[in-house]
Amino acid sequence: MSEEIKELAQILKGSDNIVFFGGAGVSTESNIPDFRSSNGLWNEKLKINFTPEQLVSHTFFVRYPEEFFEFYKDKLIYPEAEPNDAHKVLAKLEEMGKLKAIVTQNIDGLHQAAGSKTVYELHGSVLRNYCMKCGEFYDEKYILKSEGIPVCSKCGGRVKPDVVLYEEGLDQDIINNSVNAIARADVLIIGGTSLVVYPAAGLIDYFRGSKLILINKSETSADRRADLVIHDSIGKVFKEAFELMTKD
């Protein structure tokens, strides 16, 4: 076991005011790929090459709804995905009273599936979908089984995922809650994110606590600011640190 993981275990053991800020790297260990890793997608019907960012933009949703949902259902909803060790350890830390909040850029709902209660979803969730006309709620199963553009069974309006698309603003209440949690934390753990997506990545600037920890397979722009940096699998790191922390 590395010295870094031993240090992480000691920090976890000594704090009861931890916040976790996570990104796509947390979910990739549950076999959910980071859609931005694609170089682009050629759409035969439209005869245009789109970037993944364009495919999940508000403009694309409005102009090409059928193609939007084709990509959305294929690349963003993973009904078979299960929480991994990172999700599970974070839920246990919350249960122990150590972790106060999770701030996530992920939209898969796996933190809640693992048992976490205080989760601020900056970019929304694929598990929630609403009729744009009457507000009726639909789960992800309704979207997956729908053909073409999902429509409301009550009023016939178009159903939109409760996901923040490119060109759309983040929910102000969720931002405020995230900022408050990070600003009050003694320990901030950043995991599975390259910290390149703004404004979400800028939230770490509100941290005023004693220990900033970064867990990511590759280097990030915040590595120099961190008190502890671990370049390894986040699930493995959390599992080993938690086992060490709870060992008598």
DSSP 132: T
Contact by Cβ (8 Å): 203, 103 = yes
Q: Which of 38, 64, 17, 7 is nearest to 188 (CA)?
A: 17
User: Residue 148 in 3-state DSSP?
Assistant: coil
Catalytic residue (one of 58, 111, 123, 231) = 123
Reading the block at residue 26, the tokens are 């947390």
For this structure, is 58 an active site residue?
no
Q: Which of 91, 95, 111 is nearest to 32 (CA)?
A: 111
Reading the block at residue 238, the tokens are 């959390």
Determine whether 199 is exposed, middle or buried from the number of CB atoms within 10 Å of its CB (0-12, 13-18, 19+): exposed
Q: How many helices and strands in the chain, by DSSP H and E?
A: 10, 11
Residues assigned a catalytic role: 123
